[in-house]
């Protein structure tokens, strides 16, 4: 089933279904969701659950478990794409996919009706799950609402979700040598903190604020974050800001000073130094060089 807007009551839809629409402004009230994969093909859609907040962009997708409370909002033009799994279908399919060797898949923080409790976080697109998402999106765009074809894609999706789950646990097992349940909880906490950085990186963020989101001491949080993401929280935050600066330097008419404060830096000097240290030229030179290159490209065309 393919829908072009969120239904009035998601829990009352007794089938697998896709919600696919483009909107400049949209709000989805808090509700209990089935197992869901949330994507944005364009723009940003913000999701808020009882445990965290997420900004879903074209670079990633969000997994939400059955029974989670969720609400969402869109404030700029976005293309929202959500894949909902009917609980009985998902549970039956997941149980059939789990083998005895996959003992780690049975681990969970809390009892759920799903046989697999996925990590609720943003995941980068990959080469085994994302192609299925794009096939389903194309089907929606051309209104190919064939039940049997879609059921096969849903099964492919669940198989892909299990692969994502297995790969994630391989990363978790690399954490400091403590029992698996502790490693899993630590990973969950630093993931929540990372999502917080992703949403709020243009604001005034400190290690103290970020570590409190993970409910960890600053020292412990710093050590675990670096172990998981191979960089410190400050390095990750700086990269997010610099990446946003590059996008604004290329696409906007904002001055370097305006961009500096827009992305969360408090000093133009610090921003310029970091930028030049990374790219070998100042933000002003980068902006002018990019514009000259684009002008030459247009003339050649």
Residues lower than pLDDT 50 in the chain: 100-105, 107-112
pLDDT for res 80: 95
- Angle 252-20-44 (CA atoms, 0-180°, nearest 5)? 30
pLDDT tens for each residue of 220-233? 888 889 888 989 99
Domain 236-300 homologous superfamily, CATH: Homeodomain-like (1.10.10.60)
Structure tokens at 12: 């009352």
19, two tokens: 């919600």
The residues facing 32 across adjacent strands are: 69
| pTM to 2 decimal places | 0.75
**Rounded CA gap, 106 and 26, in Å?**
36
Model pLDDT, residue 113: 58
By CB atoms closer than 10 A (0-12, 13-18, 19+), residue 158 is buried
- Whole-number pLDDT of residue 101: 41
* Sheet-wide strand order for 68-74: 26-33, 68-74, 45-49, 53-56
Residue with tokens 């765009």: 141
Backbone angles phi, psi at 260, to 5 degrees: -55, -50
DSSP 279: H
Burial of 79 (0-12, 13-18, 19+ CB in 10 A): middle
CATH superfamily, with its number, for domain 2-172: Jelly Rolls (2.60.120.10)
Q: What is the pLDDT, as a whole number, of residue 105?
A: 46
Concatenated DSSP letters of 245-256: HHHHHHH----H
Edge-first strand order for the sheet with 36-42 is 2-3, 17-23, 78-84, 36-42, 60-64, 122-124
How many CB atoms are closer than 10 A to CB 211?
A: 22
8 A C-beta contact, residue 36 and residue 154: no
Q: What is the pLDDT of residue 22?
A: 93
């Amino acid at each position: 089933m393919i829908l072009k807007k969120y239904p009035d009551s998601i829990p009352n839809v007794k089938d697998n279904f896709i919600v696919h629409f483009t909107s400049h402004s949209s709000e989805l009230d808090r509700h209990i969701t089935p197992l869901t994969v949330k994507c944005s093909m364009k723009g940003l859609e913000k999701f808020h659950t009882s445990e965290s907040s997420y900004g879903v962009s074209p670079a990633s997708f969000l997994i939400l478990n059955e029974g989670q409370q969720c609400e969402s909002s869109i404030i700029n033009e976005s293309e929202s794409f959500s894949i909902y799994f009917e609980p009985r279908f998902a549970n039956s399919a997941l149980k059939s996919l789990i083998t005895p060797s996959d003992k780690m898949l049975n681990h969970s923080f809390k009892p759920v009706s799903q046989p697999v409790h996925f990590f609720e976080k943003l995941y980068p697109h990959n080469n085994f799950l994302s192609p299925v998402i794009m096939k389903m999106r194309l089907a929606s765009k051309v209104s190919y609402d064939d039940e049997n074809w879609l059921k096969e894609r849903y099964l492919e999706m669940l198989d892909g979700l299990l692969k994502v789950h297995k790969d994630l646990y391989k990363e978790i097992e690399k954490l400091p040598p403590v029992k698996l349940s502790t490693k899993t909880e630590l990973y969950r906490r630093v993931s929540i903190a990372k999502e917080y950085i992703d949403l709020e990186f243009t604001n005034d963020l400190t290690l103290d604020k970020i570590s409190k989101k993970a409910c960890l001491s600053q020292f412990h949080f710093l050590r675990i974050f670096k172990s998981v993401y191979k960089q410190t929280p400050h390095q990750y935050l700086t990269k997010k800001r610099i990446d946003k600066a590059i996008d604004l330097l290329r696409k906007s008419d904002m001055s370097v000073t305006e961009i500096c404060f827009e992305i969360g830096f408090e000093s133009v000097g610090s921003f310029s130094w970091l930028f030049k240290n990374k790219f070998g030229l100042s933000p002003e030179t980068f902006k002018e060089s990019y514009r000259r290159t684009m002008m030459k490209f247009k003339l050649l065309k």
